[in-house]
Amino acid sequence: MKNLIKKANALKASVIGVSFVAMGSANAALDQSLVDGVVTDVLADAGIAIAAGFAIFGTVKAAKAGFGLLSSFIGKGARG
């Protein structure tokens, strides 16, 4: 069992080492203007998603309040 744990730890260390080497190579190959373009596009898409989320949130909250008022109105009308 201890041998298996040692092998797993060695595998983790080698995967982490290879990942850092690959990251360094990928980082060196990136062009800053392309990275800035991607960041701008992602931020624009995130802004659209956030705005849509708030619109949906507002609609849901308004519908919940409307149904609550309608429910109380119906309940009071039913009681006379």
- The reported pLDDT for the residue numbered 5 is 73
Averaged pLDDT for residues 64-76:
90
DSSP letters for 37-49: HHHHHHHHHHHHH
Tens digit of each residue's pLDDT (9 = 90 or more) over 16-68: 766 666 666 656 677 888 888 899 999 999 999 999 999 999 999 999 999 99
- The reported pLDDT for the residue numbered 34 is 85
Q: Give the number of other Cβ atoms within 10 Å of residue 9's Cβ.
A: 10
- The reported pLDDT for the residue numbered 16 is 77
